[in-house]
């Protein structure tokens, strides 16, 4: 007889850690089938007939307050179901608070909120803590509960901290099968209070089911409307319906000891501002490959604005419009790339040809179900949200080994490849031309008072439990008078001289000109099969000054509770985003390493994920794109929980971010891709073409409850500085 697999219902309250909880549950109960719903998608009437089929319910954490209907949704009704619907429930954080207050406990704000903080939890070693000693756990909460004397809820665990005194950390119902914890068992820094504790819950739940639901048999299938089973096989467009013919990459590689990448760009048209140009530049360590696109008149540029329901494909001389009927831009682009798939490039080279360009911060709104309100004339005021060009011919330089690859996806293109090799060799003999002065500019900084006011607003949301971390940003406008303007290409060359970065970029994809000196990789993914997705969030910044040596920076960053907490929150959020796309296999490879950049020291973590072994290559092939779709905007630019934080920031900042805070990079036609976070960058819109140049630079930082407003203002300026130097200015 095959053993029946238990079905578990996971209710997500829009927390950015729900899939971490799902992964932990799957580890604790390997045979379980997890059905995920949101707390506002079902009424209790919808759920009642379904509950009897489940073995247990997990209630996830979430922003807001357990006494606000729109925050807690259906959860509060679950505690009150009649005996015949009773089912074991385990609640986390907001879940614990709801269980407690629905049974007479009072709700309070913490004196000192705990977001991404590790605490030692004490308990009596029974129930969900059976067999556990003292546990170290991560807390993300602003609120807490005080139990009613003699009430139905009993305390199981507590912690003691300097500022808040004793805080309840776990509870149970005295006779119903309800348990809950205030801390986060699924956080990467929670120890045995995570896995072992969920295993204990499962044992208690099974015992209760045997005792109180003797007739219960787990069904082989349950159909829950508006739910999905986790892990869900990621969306893969019906590639087989397309008539896919796979072309081969023509390529050749040579060693060029003095490769002059900038001269090569110029030879390829970097100065011709009427034409499109793409240069992804590894101008500093740990960057390795630089990519130069050799675009022609017929190279297709694909653009899309999130408030429009079509995509435009433009070449130098034509424009075509594709309606997005019953599909979205992600699927459309996936199919476009799939119909141009290639094979046979050099496996050492990450990019053989394919898409390169950027996606804005707002391009991530759709998946979060947030709208970007825009005016009718939005095209004059906004950069396209998707702005990519398809590259058939390219030169890739390995900057660490002075090796160059010339590649073409076009048929019978040997002649071009050989001519380009010849050109590269000749150009490497030429001297580097000197740079012009930066010219005079006028700068409009974010208003200091307003920025400090916004920080205070953020902190109020952190105290009320609506967010754990908010990445607040401000906009700086740099006006370059028409007569003083140097070419945008020269501007980029200045920027890369004053702020060389591993993820540099010069993209001239009209109407946008985009210059970047970003230190942060968002996501890279290797070719299938066996695709590995890697995310590298940066959180934690110290300005570089003569006395700030590596040792001092390490002490300031890894020795600081605030900086570690900032980074931890984003690591947990990114683990969730990755678990959402790949399922169980997610690993935190590095946690809080200190890395050195031109003007700042940064704390960096590395998280990797992959689909299970043996996943068909065509599913692996779109995995990276799917991870991108499910993970934008980058967590390090939003804060956590993501959806609520983005909504709050939208109203606090009062303007769109555009390309800033989005991603730029490439998706190779042979699989694999690399996307950087668009920070330390500036943009220009063609609508201002005939007048003065109006560059926009975004900069900001994570605001947590421990933030000091003046220190945050200084940090924002430190980040801005890197870009300002490209304009001969500083702050």
Ligand X SMILES: C=C(O[C@@H]1C=C(C(=O)O)C=C[C@H]1O)C(=O)O
719 binds, among ligand GLN, ligand X, none (CB under 5 to 8 A by kind): ligand X
- The Cα 602–Cα 540 span in angstroms is 6
Nearer to ligand GLN, 181 or 421 (CB): 181
Q: Which stretches of the chain bind ligand X, using CB under 6 A?
A: 471, 473, 520, 538-541, 636-637, 677, 679-680, 698-702, 719
Active site residue 228: no
DSSP 409-469: -STT-HHHHHHHHHHHHHHTTSPPPPPPP----EEEPPPHHHHHHHHHHHHHHHHTTS-SE
- The Cα 417–Cα 408 span in angstroms is 7
Nearer to ligand X, 598 or 686 (CB): 598
Nearer to ligand X, 233 or 711 (CB): 711
- The Cα 453–Cα 97 span in angstroms is 30
Phi/psi of residue 648, nearest 5 degrees = -65, -45
569 and 116 Cβ atoms separated by less than 8 Å: yes
Nearer to ligand X, 488 or 541 (CB): 541
Give the number of other Cβ atoms within 10 Å of residue 191's Cβ: 17
Nearer to ligand X, 516 or 526 (CB): 516
Cβ at position 355, least distance to ligand X in Å: 24
Active site residue 93: yes
Question: Catalytic residue among 15, 25, 93, 265, which?
Answer: 93
Cβ at position 602, least distance to ligand X in Å: 6
Cβ at position 578, least distance to ligand GLN in Å: 19
Cβ at position 182, least distance to ligand GLN in Å: 8
301 and 387 Cβ atoms separated by less than 8 Å: yes
Q: Which stretches of the chain bind ligand GLN, using CB under 6 A?
A: 61-64, 93-94, 140-143, 465
Question: Tokens for 446?
Answer: 């974010």
Nearer to ligand GLN, 141 or 508 (CB): 141
Task: Report the DSSP pairing between strands 469-480 and 442-444.
Answer: antiparallel
Cβ at position 598, least distance to ligand X in Å: 13
- Give 308-358 as a 3 state SS string: CCEEEEECCCCEEEEECCCCCHHHHHHHHHHCCCEECCCCCCCCCCEEEEE
Nearer to ligand X, 397 or 627 (CB): 627
**DSSP tag of 184:** B
Nearer to ligand X, 209 or 678 (CB): 678
Cβ at position 715, least distance to ligand GLN in Å: 24
Q: What H or E segment, with its residue span, contains residue 476?
A: strand 469-480
Task: Report the DSSP pairing between strands 178-181 and 228-230.
Answer: unpaired
Give the number of other Cβ atoms within 10 Å of residue 550's Cβ: 11
338 and 237 Cβ atoms separated by less than 8 Å: yes
Active site residue 477: no
Cβ at position 67, least distance to ligand GLN in Å: 11
Question: Catalytic residue among 186, 469, 626, 693, which?
Answer: 186
Cα distances from 565 to residues 93, 105, 194, 539, 569, in angstroms, run: 17, 29, 18, 9, 6
170 and 182 Cβ atoms separated by less than 8 Å: yes
Give the number of other Cβ atoms within 10 Å of residue 133's Cβ: 11
Alpha-carbon torsion angle 115, 121, 125, 127, nearest 10: -20
Cβ at position 324, least distance to ligand X in Å: 31
142 binds, among ligand GLN, ligand X, none (CB under 5 to 8 A by kind): ligand GLN
153 binds, among ligand X, ligand GLN, none (CB under 5 to 8 A by kind): none
143 binds, among ligand GLN, ligand X, none (CB under 5 to 8 A by kind): ligand GLN
Q: Which residues are catalytically annotated?
A: 93, 184, 186
């Amino acid at each position: 007889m095959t053993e029946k697999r238990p079905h578990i219902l996971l209710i997500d309250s829009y927390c950015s850690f729900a899939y971490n909880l799902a992964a932990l549950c799957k580890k604790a109960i390997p045979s379980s089938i997890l059905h995920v719903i949101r707390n506002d998608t079902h009424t209790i009437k919808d759920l009642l007939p379904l509950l009897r089929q489940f073995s247990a319910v997990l209630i996830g954490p979430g922003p807001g307050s357990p006494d606000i209907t729109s925050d807690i949704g259906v959860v509060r009704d679950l505690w009150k179901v009649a005996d015949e619907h009773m089912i074991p429930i385990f609640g986390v954080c907001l879940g614990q608070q709801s269980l407690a207050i629905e049974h007479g406990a009072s709700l309070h704000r913490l004196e000192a909120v705990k977001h991404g903080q590790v605490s030692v939890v004490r308990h009596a070693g029974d129930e969900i803590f059976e067999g556990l000693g003292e546990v170290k756990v991560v807390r993300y909460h602003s609120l807490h509960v005080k139990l009613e004397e003699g009430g139905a809820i009993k305390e199981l665990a507590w912690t003691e901290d300097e500022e808040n005194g004793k805080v309840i950390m776990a509870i149970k119902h005295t006779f119903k099968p309800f348990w809950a914890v205030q801390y986060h068992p699924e956080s990467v820094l929670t120890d045995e209070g995570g896995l072992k504790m969920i295993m204990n819950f499962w044992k208690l739940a099974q015992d209760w089911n045997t005792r109180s639901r003797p007739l219960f048999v787990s069904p082989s299938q349950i159909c829950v409307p508006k739910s999905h089973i986790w892990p869900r096989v990621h969306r893969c467009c019906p590639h087989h319906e397309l008539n896919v013919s796979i072309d081969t990459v023509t390529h050749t590689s040579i060693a060029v000891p003095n490769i002059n990448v900038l001269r090569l760009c110029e030879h390829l048209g970097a100065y011709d501002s009427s034409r499109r140009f793409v240069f992804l530049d590894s101008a500093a360590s740990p960057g390795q490959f630089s990519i130069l696109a050799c675009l022609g008149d017929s190279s297709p540029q694909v653009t899309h604005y999130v408030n429009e329901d079509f995509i435009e494909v433009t070449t130098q001389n034509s424009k075509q419009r594709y309606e997005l009927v019953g599909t979205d831009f992600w699927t459309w682009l996936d199919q476009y790339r799939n119909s141009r798939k290639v094979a046979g490039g050099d496996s050492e080279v990450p990019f053989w040809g394919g898409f390169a360009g950027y996606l804005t911060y707002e391009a991530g709104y759709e998946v979060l179900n947030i709208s970007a309100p825009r005016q009718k004339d939005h095209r004059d005021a906004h950069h396209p949200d998707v702005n990519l060009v398809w590259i058939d011919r390219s030169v890739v330089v390995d900057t660490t080994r002075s090796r160059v690859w010339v590649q073409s996806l076009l048929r019978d293109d040997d002649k071009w490849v050989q001519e380009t090799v010849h050109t590269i060799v000749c150009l490497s003999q030429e001297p580097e031309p000197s740079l012009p002065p930066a010219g005079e500019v006028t700068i409009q900084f974010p208003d200091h008072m307003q920025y400090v006011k916004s920080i205070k607003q953020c902190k109020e949301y952190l105290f009320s439990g609506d967010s754990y971390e908010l990445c607040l940003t401000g906009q700086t406008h740099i006006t370059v008078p028409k007569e003083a303007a140097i070419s945008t290409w020269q501007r980029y060359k200045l920027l890369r001289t004053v702020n060389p970065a591993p993820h540099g970029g010069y993209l001239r994809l009209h109407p946008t000109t985009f210059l970047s000196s970003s230190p942060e990789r968002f996501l890279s993914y290797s070719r299938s099969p066996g695709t590995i997705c890697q995310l590298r969030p940066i959180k934690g910044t110290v300005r570089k000054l003569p006395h700030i040596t590596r040792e001092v920076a390490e002490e300031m960053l890894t020795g600081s509770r605030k900086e570690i907490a900032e980074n931890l929150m984003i690591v947990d959020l990114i683990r969730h985003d990755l678990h959402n796309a790949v399922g169980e296999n997610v690993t935190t490879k590095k946690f809080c390493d200190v890395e050195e950049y031109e003007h700042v020291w940064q704390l960096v973590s590395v998280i990797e994920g992959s689909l299970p072994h043996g996943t068909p290559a065509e599913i692996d092939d779109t995995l990276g794109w799917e991870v991108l779709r499910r993970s934008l905007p980058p967590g390090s630019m939003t804060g956590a929980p993501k959806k609520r934080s983005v909504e709050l920031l939208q109203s606090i900042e009062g303007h769109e971010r555009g390309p800033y805070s989005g991603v730029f990079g490439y998706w190779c036609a042979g699989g694999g891709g690399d996307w950087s976070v668009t920070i330390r960058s500036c943009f220009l819109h063609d609508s201002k073409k005939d007048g003065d140049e109006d560059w926009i630079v975004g900069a900001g930082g994570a605001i947590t409850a421990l933030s000091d407003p003046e220190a945050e203002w200084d940090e924002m300026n430190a980040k801005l500085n890197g870009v300002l130097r490209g304009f001969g200015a500083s702050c």
